[in-house]
Amino acid sequence: MLNCRLKIAVWIIAHLTGIATGCGMHRYWTHRSFQATLPLRFFFTFFYAMAGQVTIKHWVRDHRTHHKFSETDADPYDSRRGYFFSHIGWYLTTKHPMVIEKGSKIDISDLKKDPLIVFHDKYFQLNRLILCYTLPTLVPTYFWGESLWISFLANCVRYCYVLNAMWSINSLAHFQGHRPYDKTMRPRNNLFVSLVTLGEGWHNFHHSFPWDYRSTEDRSLFNPNKHFVDLMAKLGWAYNLKISTDDVIRKKIKRTGDGSHQWGTVGGVPIFGSSEHEPY
């Protein structure tokens, strides 16, 4: 039976790596939806390394390519090729020639100027070995006497859970859910995906307004990553938070939404006051 402290440690690491991926890799480095100070960038780099995925430049380049060429042969996670491919198949197979061609032209010069990214990517395999596999396994064993085998298995579960949670954005959030902002695109708002990714599943909004750090204007929706960025802003670690105005969002809903949004179905009257959406 898992030690209570091990359960807590696994839960904390899973959420910290989720925040580093969702807020750091996605909302910050890929879309530059806000600016981050050195301490926050270090936090993102450290816990993203603990997530054990790919290099930062690789992750960001692929995701920028995904947005620029969404649902085409140049899309690394092209959902037109099926659920399995968009979830994990893209990771297991050779990239389509168009992905390589278009991806090589994506501008990632901003990443090459960041010394933290340069260090992380240069020593990526070593960082992953230590932070993703070794430390989370040895710390519970050394500090509170957990079985090495149980600690190893618990870390494997954590690792697989976070990977599949993040991959579900490319798969499940492109197949199931509502499209309140743009019914002409495949990305959808999916509650389950948001629950397991701390708010990254409001995907129809995100593809409609990728520069918006909130990933949804609806503050009633589950969105811990947005609240994390808000907290960092109050601490002075995040600044220049970018948002879309109510007017722009409302026009988008009326023009291309599927009718599932309150603004598109209740006489255009917003469910919340506009003060929440004023520019920072």
So what's the pLDDT on residue 144? Answer: 87
Distance separating alpha carbons of residues 169 and 76, to the nearest angstrom: 13
Q: Tell me the residue ranges of DSSP E strands in the chain.
A: 35-36, 238-239
Strand partners, 149: none
The helix/strand/coil state of 275 is helix
pLDDT in tens, 110-158: 999 999 999 999 999 999 999 999 999 999 999 988 899 999 999 999 9
Indicate the average pLDDT of the chain: 92
Residue 26 has pLDDT above 90, yes or no: yes
pLDDT at 159: 97
Query: What's the rounded mean pLDDT across residues 14-31?
Result: 98
Please give the angle made by the CA atoms of 121, 18 and 116, to the nearest 5 degrees: 25
pLDDT of residue 265: 47
Q: What confidence score (pLDDT) does residue 262 get?
A: 77
Whole-number pLDDT of residue 1? 57
Q: Would the pLDDT of 276 be above 60?
A: no
Q: 151-176 pLDDT, tens per residue? A: 999 999 999 999 999 999 999 999 99
Residue 89 has pLDDT above 70, yes or no: yes
Q: Are 33 and 44 in contact (CB under 8 A)?
A: no
**Residue 274, pLDDT score:** 41
Task: Supply the pLDDT for residue 122.
Answer: 97
Mean pLDDT of all residues in 218-245: 97
Alpha-carbon distance 266 to 262, whole Å? 6
Q: Does residue 3 have a pLDDT over 90?
A: no
- pLDDT of 278 over the 90 cut: no
pLDDT of residue 25: 98
**pLDDT at res. 264:** 54
Q: What is the pLDDT of residues 172-208, one digit of tens each?
A: 999 999 999 999 999 999 999 999 999 999 999 999 9
- Euclidean distance between the first and final Cα of the chain, in Å? 48
> Does the pLDDT value for residue 41 go beyond 90?
yes
